[in-house]
Amino acid sequence: MTGARSLARRRAPALAACAAALGWLLWPLTAGASPEEQRQAAPMAAATEPGIRLTRPWFVVQLLPSPELWLEPDGAHFGFHWQVTPLLYSFGINRKLSPWRAFIVEPLTRHAGSIELFTSPGYVARPGAFADRWVLRGGVRSYFPLVDRGDYLSCSLGGSAMVARGQVAASYEAGIYTLFGAFGVQVTATPTAALRSTTITLNIRYF
């Protein structure tokens, strides 16, 4: 019994020195951080890139257009369009992740807060030559989260140049989205006299 106590007394200074060294090494990581702050920092440290890539199913789904109604001086016409995002910068995702996306964009990355370059070819069933029914838009759009980081509700504002019937015009738009951005409504106004119109789009989007 006496030998055990003597051994414990000899080891005590070494154990104390190890504990002090460990505390000194960990101090920069924990000093000044509350338990709540440390809990919030844990997901940041574990963040990993999503590893998304182009696949055949994704490409097939992108072929599904969004229907829209064109209100023009000569009447109302049915139409539809597709959307392509060559480049997007997200300012609402985890700072540990890359904010840049090209073509494929996860709903959270877009609707948590982002700005994108987009191009949008479309078709309008208006009277006239077949070639005059095609429309092409290209511009910039920003998304802002409203409820639960944009998963349940988000909105957008944007501007674009529209090319149709051999004319070029400026367009302005606003939109609101729900269900992780899969469904939304966009309203686009084109005030230029030659292409004056208001477009109401049921936006359907999968990534």
Spans of all domains in the chain? 2-45, 56-204
pLDDT for the residue numbered 26: 40
Domain 56-204 has CATH 1.20.1530: no
Alpha carbon distance 197, 124 (integer Å): 12
Question: Residue 134 — very low, low, confident or very high, per pLDDT cuts 50/70/90?
Answer: very high
Alpha carbon distance 80, 122 (integer Å): 6
Question: Residue 123 — very low, low, confident or very high, per pLDDT cuts 50/70/90?
Answer: very high
Please tell me whether the overall predicted TM-score, pTM, comes out greater than 0.75 for this model. Answer: no
- Is the distance from CB of 30 to CB of 80 less than 8 angstroms? no
Quick one: how far is CA 126 from the chain centroid?
33
